[in-house]
Amino acid sequence: MNQSFSIQFVSQVTGINSHTLRAWEKRYNAVTPLRDQNKRRLYTQADIDRLKKIHDLCSLGNNVSDIAILDDVNLTKLHTQYFREATNLNQTIEKVEPIDINQTLQNLIMALSHYKLDIIAHELEKAQRSLSAREFTLNLIIPLLSEVGLQVAGGHISIGMEHAISSIIKFNLGLVLFKKYQSKNSNKTSILICTPEKEFREIPALITTILCASYNYRFMYLGTNMSAFSLKDAIKQINPSILLLSVTKAYCTNHKNSFQIFLNTLLQSDFKNDFWITGAQVKLIDSPRITTISSLQFLDHHLNKLTGKKS
């Protein structure tokens, strides 16, 4: 029996919001999902694969109206052509001169103190092309984020400025993650990564995903603010080896009770594998299935240690 997937699940795994999925169906016949007895849309794996290809091609500047009319054979051919070129471009770009991480970090901090967004963008772009994913996140992005936090706390950077800087950081983390999605992950352990409901901080979750990918784990990043209902649906369909929830210290303080309810709901679901929680300072629920990892640096140590045990 073929599996079918809800529109919420498809939205999470493709990165296409539900409104856009409905619009692509009605306006362009991108896919024609089935319906259940309550008239809710049900998508097949073939629908998901097709939607991912359309989304990828649109992200490179193609019009959805031109892409959605293609049959599966020609869509696959065009997707392969474009992304072979993108892969070749990445390989060419990566052949750059090594950089001094400490000097780059000092340049970023100096640019930060004078709020020079163009310099920040240039330094990060150069660094993410030259450094490994782990070096970029652990040795550059995390110290930079700490400095941003200090500048905000000291009143030197406004919240609006912080948002602009965060957007540049997220863009470069996205580029690193895109390259990781293109590479093959040999580790059989699969990790499903997201943030729980009401947790909107995306940068720690992106770094978490990049670190998992750096150790060749098979990974799927579902994004932020996942409700327990949507996550239970995703878990049922994907059945990951590990569910990794990325949270911040502020989230655990402000939403402690609701997060405990969230975790209990998942613990009582059909998912029987392990939970990792990164960013929490203390264990919120006493369960042998839950591992609390207080920082991204400790997550890196944890992944390294776990990989050593499996090798």
- Any bridge partners for residue 5, and if so which? 43
Give CA–CA dist 220/23, Å, rounded. Answer: 25
Residue 202: CA count within 13 A, CB half-sphere: 16
User: Greater confidence, 310 or 233?
Assistant: 233
Q: pLDDT per residue over 237-276, tens digit each?
A: 788 899 999 999 999 999 999 999 999 999 988 888 999 9
Structural domains in the chain, sorted by start: 7-93 (1.10.1660.10), 101-180 (1.10.1240.10), 184-310 (3.40.50.280)
Alpha-carbon distances of 199 from 180, 206, 248, 255, rounded to whole Å: 24, 13, 8, 9
> Is residue 59 pLDDT above 80, yes or no?
no
Query: Alpha helix (H) ranges present in 72-202?
Result: 72-93, 101-113, 117-130, 133-134, 142-153, 159-182
pTM over 0.85? The answer is no
Number of CB atoms found within 10 A of residue 230's CB: 18
Give CA–CA dist 72/287, Å, rounded. Answer: 46
> Is residue 112 pLDDT above 70, yes or no?
yes
User: Greater confidence, 75 or 309?
Assistant: 75
> Is residue 94 pLDDT above 80, yes or no?
no
Alpha-carbon distances of 57 from 39, 66, 121, 127, 174, rounded to whole Å: 30, 10, 25, 26, 16
**Quick check: helix, strand or coil at residue 275?**
strand
**Contact indicator for 243, 216 with CB cutoff of 8 Å:** no
> Is residue 88 pLDDT above 60, yes or no?
no
Contacts of residue 105, Cβ cutoff 8 Å, sequence gap at least 6 = 139, 140, 143, 144
> Is residue 141 pLDDT above 80, yes or no?
yes
Contacts of residue 294, Cβ cutoff 8 Å, sequence gap at least 6 = 278, 279, 280, 281
Would you give the end-to-end CA distance of the chain in angstroms?
Answer: 36
